[in-house]
Chains A and B, each alone.
Chain A
Amino acid sequence: MAGQISMPGDRIAYIEEYVPGRNTFDDGDAVRAAVVGSPVIDREQRTASIRDPKGLTVPDAGDTIVGTVAAVMSTMFAVAIKFINGRPITSGVECICSTRSMRRNAVVALPNDVVVLKIASHLNGAIHAKMDEPELGILFTKCRKCGLRVITSRDGVKCVECGWFDERKLSSAFGDARAVELAGG
């Protein structure tokens, strides 16, 4: 398959032999390409997929995104996605991240915080993200009381001006200006 180009609708494998992978679909008979790209046939996993040279403005499960917190609710917060795997996007698509499993009373995120998350799934018309790994969480935030600079302190952040302490789920890359590049892998 090396060097081949598949157009949307082109047959790349039969469903008796391969399952559809990324950027493909099956029409009940064959695995077909859904985008323009190079076919990738994995003979061990028995998957047929397409390597997409461009990428979409909507993240897929497993993608790492960087965005700003758009709204905070009691058990979740919404994030406006700005980067997918380090690639800037302008589509304004939002995802939600559940905070139900976080410690009670902890302020996980505040509006306008910059966060790095991993996309867990597309479910019920919403994009669900998670932040349960060390590198995931808040990248940049400000003091909840006075809005000034904070520094890390134990499991949260402490304001350098007023000394207010808040618990946050911080990313291991908190405060690192290269965080977007790091999120892109």
Chain B
Amino acid sequence: MGGRDTDVVLLDENGVRCDGRRIDQTRRVEIRAGVLRNAHGSAYIEFGDNKILAGVFGPRDVHPKHMSDTDTGILRCRYHMSPFSVTERKNPAPSRREIEISKVIKEALEPSLMLEKFPRTVVDVFMEVLQADGGSRCAALSAASVALADAGIPMRDMVCACAAGKVADTIVLDVNNEEDQAGQADMPVGYMPNMDRITLIQLDGVLTPDEYKRCVRTAVDGCRQVYEVQKKALADRFFGGGGKEGSGDGA
């Protein structure tokens, strides 16, 4: 898995990547919570050139009723790319890739949610990719987690996500579109920072065991950076940024 041939210099001799970043640097991340009036919770994320909206409804009555679970609430996720999100018009019908990403995001969010408190109900998460630039599943997962927190749904922890990968035989943080296409490996990671648990890990490419460990560590470092942005977005939403952030022992 050597990646696709390209004329772009993915990593120069000074360790600078094709978009000018260092190998341990994420793209610019900006999140705003509560951007949609009609959804119970919402968030908008700009992760580099990715632009994604996430909206949450629920807990609410399940329709169709036979899908409800008497022991716990259920989570439904829909990741969708707008026709104008990529350079060629994308068919708005759900593709194989979108169905797969919806599934992995659902499975990445489920460990963080306390759905057992709301039996017979459903929480719906809708993620709409307005502009895609590589790493949109990580950006969508981070936005969905903020939207769920904005909706007030009880959570064990936030889920933050960031990818790492292998480009020009080097482990780099937050793979962009060119690196995703032409690089050697791409590993999206979803992470619960307070619980120190990984909820999503995928790998496209081949890594040695040592590279794999370094790649996970690098991705988790990126997740922690995204978590700080998530916290700031929620603090701004609920307290206008005026509160004093961070946990306290209380005792």
Contacts and interface: CB of A to CB of B under 8 A. Distances in A.
Contacts of B243: 3-5, 38
B213 interface: no
A12 B119 CA distance: 27
A52 interface: yes
A57 B193 contact: no
19 contacts: A4-B246, A5-B243, A5-B244, A6-B247, A7-B234, A11-B247, A12-B248, A13-B251, A33-B247, A36-B152, A36-B237, A36-B238, A39-B250, A41-B250, A52-B152, A57-B59, A58-B118, A58-B121, A122-B119
B225 to A, nearest CB: 15
A174 interface: no
Interface of B: 40, 58-61, 70-71, 112, 114, 117-121, 149-158, 192-195, 230-231, 234-235, 237-239, 243-251
A125 interface: yes
A124 B119 CA distance: 9
Nearest to A3: B244
Nearest to B69: A125
Most buried by A among B60, B70, B192: B60
Contact of B155 (A13, A17, A34, A94): A34
Contact of B152 (A13, A27, A54, A126): A54
Given A34-B154, A36-B234, A91-B61, A7 B251 contact: no
Nearest to B194: A9
B71 A125 contact: yes
Contacts of A31: 250
Contacts of B249: 11-14
B194 A32 contact: yes
Contact of B244 (A4, A90, A125): A4
Interface string A100-135: 000000000000000000000010111000000000
A6 to B, nearest CB: 6
Nearest to A40: B250
Nearest to A92: B61
A185 interface: no
Contact of B247 (A10, A25, A55, A58): A10
Nearest to B114: A34
Interface of A: 1, 3-14, 17-18, 23, 25, 27, 31-39, 41, 48, 52-58, 90-94, 122, 124-126
B250 A36 contact: no
B192 A35 contact: no
Given A27-B195, A52-B152, 13 more contacts: A3-B243, A4-B245, A9-B158, A23-B154, A32-B194, A34-B155, A36-B150, A36-B234, A37-B238, A53-B238, A54-B238, A93-B61, A125-B71
A9 B121 contact: no
Contacts of A33: 247
B248 A58 contact: no
Closest 8 CB pairs of A and B: A9-B157, A9-B194, A10-B247, A91-B60, A125-B119, A8-B155, A34-B154, A92-B61
A55 B152 contact: yes
Contact of B238 (A5, A56, A124, A126): A5
B192 to A, nearest CB: 7
A36 B149 contact: yes
Contacts of A14: 249, 251
Contacts of B118: 58
B158 A93 contact: no
A54 B148 CA distance: 12
A182 B244 CA distance: 35
A4 B247 CA distance: 8
Contacts of B120: 125-126
Contacts of A38: 243
Contacts of B58: 57, 91
Contacts of A7: 149, 158, 230-231, 234, 245, 247
